[in-house]
Chains A and B, each alone.
Chain A
Amino acid sequence: MSSKYDVLVIGGGNAALCAAIAARRGGASVLVLEGAPTFYRGGNTRHTRNMRCAHDAATEILTGPYTEEEFWEDLLRVTGGQTDEVLARHMIRESKDILNWIVEQGVRWQPSLGGTLSLGRTNSFFLGGGRAMLNALYLTAERLGVEVAYEAEVTDLVIEDGMFLAACLKRPINGATEIRATSLVAAAGGFEANIEWLKQYWGEAADNFLIRGTPYNRGSILKMLLDKGVQEVGDPTQCHAVAIDARAPKFDGGIITRHDSVVFGIVVNKHAQRFYDEGEDIWPKRYAIWGRLVAAQPDQIAYIIFDSTVVTSFMPTLFPPIAGQTVAELAGKLELDPAALEKTITEFNAAVRPGTFDHTILDDCVTEGITPPKTHWARKIETPPYLAYPVRPGITFTYLGTRVTKEARMLMADGKPSANMFAAGEIMAGNVLGKGYAAGMGMTIGSVFGRIAGREAARHARN
C-alpha cells in the first residue's frame, strides 16, 4: 500500500523542519520522515547552540553589525577558498532574513541578561539550545498540519531520470510502506555515525573514533542519492573532528565531552611522546585541529598532561582528570611507560623560557631547543598532583554531499538539475563549506537552504 504527499521531507533536524514548514506554508501537504526515535530526533541540531547570520546593525541579541562582506571573508578564510561563491553569497544574503523568519517559526533567541552571558556580534544563540530550537520547530510544523513519523527508516528511493517517485519504508506508516510525493527534500545529514563508511577512508582507525552526535546520522539517504546518479560535492575523506574525552560514550556525548585544556600543558601519544605544538594558536582554531592530530596518532589516543597549578583555569569537566602524585604514578594509571613520560616532561620543563603567561593572547611563554616546540603558554609541569585527560577524535560531521543549485535543487551527475529533488542542511553543506568550520555555519546552511528547498518543493508540487 502506498500514500501520496505533495512534499516528502526525509530527515528531522533544523534543515528538514525549516523545509517542512516552508513547504506547508507554501500550501503543500507535507510528511516528515525522521529515522530516529522521538527523543533523538533532529540529528546534529540537538547539539547546536547558535547560528551565524549577516546583519547590518546591532540588535537586542547581537552586539554589532556583521556585514555580508565580512561573513563572506570569514567563510573564504575557514574554507581556504573551497566554496561555491554564487551559492555562498546567496546563502549569506538570505541569512539576514532568517534572523526574523526563524523567530516567526517559534524559535527564540537568547536575550542579553547581563554579566554571565557572553553574547556575540556574529552569532545568535538559541534560548535553551538546539533541542529547544527543534522543539519549537516541531510544535510549529505540527500546528500547521505537517505530519511527522519517527523511527521511519527509508530503505530505498525510487528515482527515474533524475525524478523522484517514491520512498520505501522498513516499517509501514498508517499501513503504507511506500510514500509517493511530487517533490522530495533530502535533509538527512551526513554519515559521521556510519563507522563502516568512515573505514573506507580511515581504515581500522575509525574503530577508535567517538561520534559526537546520535547513532542515527548514518548517511543512508546520501548514499542512495549518490548511487542513483546525483552529483557529489565535498571531499569524502574529510570530517570535522575535535579532541574529546576518551571516556565519553561512543555516540552522542555532545558538547560536554570536549577538552580545551591543551594550552595549559602538553599532549603526548601512547608512547609518551609529544607530537605537535600545543601553543600554536588560540581558540577556536586549535579546537578544530586536535581531533585530526589525535586521529593520526597510534591507536588514536593522546593524553593532555598538566599539573595542579592550572586546575582552576577552567571549569570542572564531566570526566575528572586522572591524577598521580608523581609523574611515574600518573604514567602507571594512563598505562604509559613511566620512564618515557618522565623524560618527555623533564625535557619539556628544561626547555621552558621565562615569560608572562596570559592564555587570552598569544603570549611570550615559549620553549627553546625541543621539537616540536610549544610557541605560547609554555610553563613547567612540576607541581603535583600531576593530571591528565585521555582524548580521542570526536567526529562532528562529514563534508561529502549532493551538489545543488541556488534553489537547493540537486544536480545530477550529468550536470542537469533534478526535476523534483531538493537538498538542505548537512547533506549539501559541502557546496558552501568545502572544508573547515566556523561556529554556527551549519545551522545557517540548514535554515537558509531548508527554507529555500521547502519553498521550491512546494512550488514544484503546485505546478
Chain B
Amino acid sequence: MDEADRLMTVCNSCRYCEGLCAVFPAMEMRRAFSDGDLNYLANLCHACGACYVDCQFSPPHEFNVNVPKTLAIARAESYAAYAWPRALSGTFARNGLVISVVAALSMAAFILGFAALNDRSVLFGVHTGPGAFYRLMPHNAMAALFSAAFLYAILALVMSVRAFWRDIGPPVGGRADGGSIFQAIRDAGELRYLHGGGVGCYNEDDKPTDRHKLYHHLTFYGFLLCFAATSVATLYHYLLGREAPYPWWDLPVVLGTLGGIGLIVGPIGLFMARMRRDPALLDETRHGMDVGFIAMLFLTGLTGMALLLLRETSGAASRRGVCAVHHHALRQVRARHLPLRGAGALRAGAAQRSSLLRGARA
C-alpha cells in the first residue's frame, strides 16, 4: 500500500506522535511496510483520532497526513484477508450490512420451517409447564445445532488469528510470555489506545470526549455478560439439571439482562458517534461494513432482551425467529473484530515489555 509507505516516511521523519499510542513506536522499527506490518498497525490503531487532530500536516496541509483513515482502510482489508475460510473472505467486505441481515433472516426462516414441519401447533400460543421452553425445538437438537455453529466459529477464529499472528511476526526482541498476555488483556480491556493520548478520543471535531470509549465498554462488557449468562445456564443445565426458563432473579437472567442493556445502549451510542464522525477520519467505502457490524451487535442485544420479554407472553414463532437472529449476530462478532485486536495488543504488549527491559538494561 503506497499511501501507507508514504505516511510512514512522514511520521518517522517527525515522530511528534510517538507518545500518543502504540502505533507510532511500532512504526519506528520499520523502513518499509510488509503486509503483515501494515495489518498489525491497522489492528493496533483504535481510531481515536488524536494523531489526526494533533498533526501539523493533516489535511488541508499539502502533505495530507491522515493516519486514522489510512489504517481504517487497511484494517477493513485485514478483516477480509484473515477471514477463514479464505474463500469467503471478500463477501463481508463487499456488502456487510445486507449480508448480515439477509443471513440472519434466512437462519430465522430455516428454524421456523424446521419447527413448522415438526408441529404446526407449537408455532403459536404461549407454552407453559415442564419442558415448555424446548417445545419448539428439542433441547438436544438446539444444543447440537448451536454447538456445531459455536465450534465452527472457534475454529474460524483460531485459524484467522493464527494467520494474522504469523504475518505480523514475533515482536522484535520480545516473547509473548505470560506478562505480555496479561498486559495485552489489560490494554485491550481498558481500551488503552482509545484515549487520544489521555484526553479522550476525537469524533466530530477537535474536542476530545470519552464517550466513544464508554459506548465500546458498554458493548464489549455487555457482550461478555451475555456470554457469561449462556455459560452459567449451560452449567445449570448439565451439572445441576436445572432447565430453562429461569426466574428473573436467577444468575443467567440477571447477567443476560445487564449484558443485554449494554448491548443495546452501547451499539446505539457507537452508531450515533459513527454517523456524527468527521468524514475525514473514515474509510467511507466501508460504511456498510461498519454499520453492519454495529447493527449485528445491536441486534444481539435487542433480540436477547426481546426473548426475555416475549417468553411469558407471545408466540413461540416470533421467539424462535428472534432467537436465531440473536445467535447469528453473536457469531459475527466473535469471528471478526475482537481476535485481531487482541492479537495486535498482545504483540504491542510484548514489544513494549521487551523495550522496557532493554531500557532497564541500558
Contact = CB atoms under 8 A, between A and B. Distances in A.
Interface of A: 39, 46-47, 49, 108, 110-111, 113-117, 125-132, 135-136, 139, 249, 252, 254-256, 315-318
Interface in B27-61: 28, 31, 50-51, 53-57, 60-61
Interface string B119-163: 000000000000000000000000000000000000000000000
Nearest to B57: A254
A130 B56 CA distance: 8
Contacts of B199: 108, 136
A448 to B, nearest CB: 22
Contacts of B17: 128-129
B62 interface: yes
A85 B55 CA distance: 36
Nearest to B18: A117
Given A110-B19, A131-B55, A316 B31 contact: yes
A132 B31 CA distance: 26
B207 interface: yes
B268 interface: no
B13 A255 contact: yes
Interface stretch (B87-95, B304-312, B354-362): B354-362
Contacts of B60: 39
A111 B198 CA distance: 11
A116 B13 contact: no
A316 B199 CA distance: 32
Nearest to A116: B25
B204 to A, nearest CB: 15
> Mostly helix, strand, loop or mixed at chain A's interface?
loop
B142 to A, nearest CB: 50
Interface string B329-362: 0000000000000000000000010111011000
B56 A116 contact: no
B291 interface: no
B263 to A, nearest CB: 33
Given A108-B198, A128-B19, A315 B13 contact: yes
B197 A114 contact: no
A139 B55 CA distance: 16
A318 B61 CA distance: 15
B1 interface: no
A114 B355 contact: yes
Contacts, number: 96
Contacts of A113: 19, 25, 352
Contacts of A132: 16, 50, 53-54, 197
Given A127-B20, A130-B16, A135 B54 contact: yes
B359 A114 contact: yes
B177 interface: no
Given A114-B352, A316-B31, A128 B56 contact: no
A316 B27 CA distance: 13
A254 B60 CA distance: 15
B12 A135 contact: no
A47 B197 contact: no
B14 interface: yes
Contacts of A116: 18, 25, 28, 355
Interface pairs A-B: 4 shortest CB-CB: A129-B16, A115-B355, A128-B54, A256-B13
Given A127-B198, A128-B51, A254-B57, A115 B358 contact: yes
B10 interface: yes
Nearest to B202: A135
Nearest to B27: A116
A77 B15 CA distance: 29
Residue in A46, A256, A315 whose Cβ sees the most chain B Cβ within 10 Å: A256
Interface in B198-229: 198-199, 206-207
29 contacts: A39-B60, A39-B61, A110-B18, A113-B19, A113-B352, A114-B352, A114-B356, A114-B359, A115-B354, A116-B28, A128-B17, A128-B19, A128-B50, A129-B14, A129-B55, A130-B16, A130-B56, A131-B54, A132-B50, A135-B54, A139-B207, A252-B56, A254-B56, A255-B14, A255-B16, A315-B13, A316-B13, A316-B31, A318-B9
A255 B9 CA distance: 13
Contact of B53 (A108, A135, A317): A135
Contact of A128 (B20, B62, B63, B354): B20
Residue in A115, A117, A135, A318 whose Cβ sees the most chain B Cβ within 10 Å: A115
A115 B56 contact: no
Contacts of A139: 207
A256 B20 contact: no
Contacts of A130: 16, 56
B9 A108 contact: no
B197 A127 contact: yes
Nearest to A38: B206
